[in-house]
Structure 1
């Protein structure tokens, strides 16, 4: 028998495994109890409703992201896109690689459970996407990143990691889905730096224009 202090965690782990594989409606509290090695009565001692179990399980999926948000706060001299973008992509790739259930749980939340799905995702993903967007906005103002919509750029960067590996399987000759984490960070970083960072000629031209205006 599991220790009493371990029971809620075991229930949540079991719920994540089952909800992410079988969906919300395909998973019963009896299934969760069986996988957690507790009785169904015990499950209801900790969670009043099945939906409460789901939201707790979804929240647990975001635990790998929150501690690393500080990595997106640029330090003096270390705020260039060449440094920050790999950090952003590495964080997202790690989340997708080591917490694959998170993406599936988000999909289940929006497709099957709804209700608090948007609120829950905003609570847990909002700080990450806000940090990325603000960083992009700041560097657009500094001329280090092209003047494009930062919210769309943020969504594009996230989708690159979460959706692209699966979609790439339909593209003949595309091998990105087979890259390991390090290779993926390198490939995505090269793409996004090429897409977002002005080339040296553009920077030089911009600098010349600013000097002419200030003269």
Structure 2
């Protein structure tokens, strides 16, 4: 018996290519959205970047809005699954949870590409209410649930004092939005490292949230 007799059959290349296409289209769409914004992104340019015919896109996505939603989901689902699971299962203090969670949020924003989507909403959401509503449903609403769960956990444990901040927990992530605005508007004139924004964000949240104040910063 030869090696070719025992080796498993190799799936046809065309089938592998077809199964990979949605992800390739999403990646090409993200690249186009990052370069051009929502309004100026054209599906023919997405197709060209993905190396396919424009008509192929419509086999998977009915419109540019659908592609935008798929791009959001591709980046958000792993992030929310990770961070929500952390809040639910974290064994340590609220301070330790904040110190662990905020770096993950910054990594998702600035390494995972979510800042591109937020930039589009900030600059173009007023002109395209459909994508603003989509972003609110997919990102803002889920993010508020996640942050509210963190705060409620801290209050139950007696580690978080009830205040105006616990009444509106979404304010906790506001410094991350400020970081995005700074990076896309002012960083070329006055560069500030993302790590410094993150450190200031952690310090601000802990001093505003904890009942007894945070411990010394961990290097």
Residue matched to 2:110: 97
Alignment length (residue pairs): 192
The counterpart of 1:190, out of the listed 188, 192, 203, is 203
Residue matched to 2:85: 70
Normalising by structure 1, we get a TM-score of 0.73
Distance in 2 (CA, whole Å) between partners of 1:108 and 1:51 is 16
Task: Give how far 1:34 is off.
Answer: 0.8
Gaps in structure 2 of 5+ consecutive residues: 1-13, 214-219
The counterpart of 1:55, out of the listed 43, 62, 69, is 69
Task: Give how far 1:75 is off.
Answer: 4.2
CA RMSD of superposed structures (Å): 3.1
Secondary structure at the counterpart of residue 176 of structure 2: helix
Residue matched to 1:122: 137
Task: Give how far 1:40 is off.
Answer: 0.9
Task: Give how far 1:89 is off.
Answer: 0.9
User: After superposition, what is the alpha-carbon deviation per residue over 1:41-78, rounded to whole angstroms, capped at 9, x for unaligned?
Assistant: 212222222322222222223134123121112545x2
Alignment map for 1:63-212 (pairs within 5 Å): 63-68=77-82, 69-76=84-91, 78=92, 80-98=93-111, 99=113, 100-107=115-122, 110-115=125-130, 117-140=132-155, 142-149=157-164, 150-152=166-168, 154-164=169-179, 166-167=181-182, 177-180=192-195, 184-199=197-212
Distance in 2 (CA, whole Å) between partners of 1:23 and 1:197 is 39
Distance in 2 (CA, whole Å) between partners of 1:109 and 1:90 is 27
Normalising by structure 2, we get a TM-score of 0.72
The counterpart of 1:8, out of the listed 22, 29, 38, is 22
Gaps in structure 1 of 5+ consecutive residues: 201-215
Secondary structure at the counterpart of residue 63 of structure 1: helix
- CA 1:134/1:107 → structure 2, altered by over 3 Å: closer, same or farther? same
- CA 1:49/1:138 → structure 2, altered by over 3 Å: closer, same or farther? closer
Once structures 1 and 2 are overlaid, which stretch shifts more, 53-62 or 26-35? 53-62
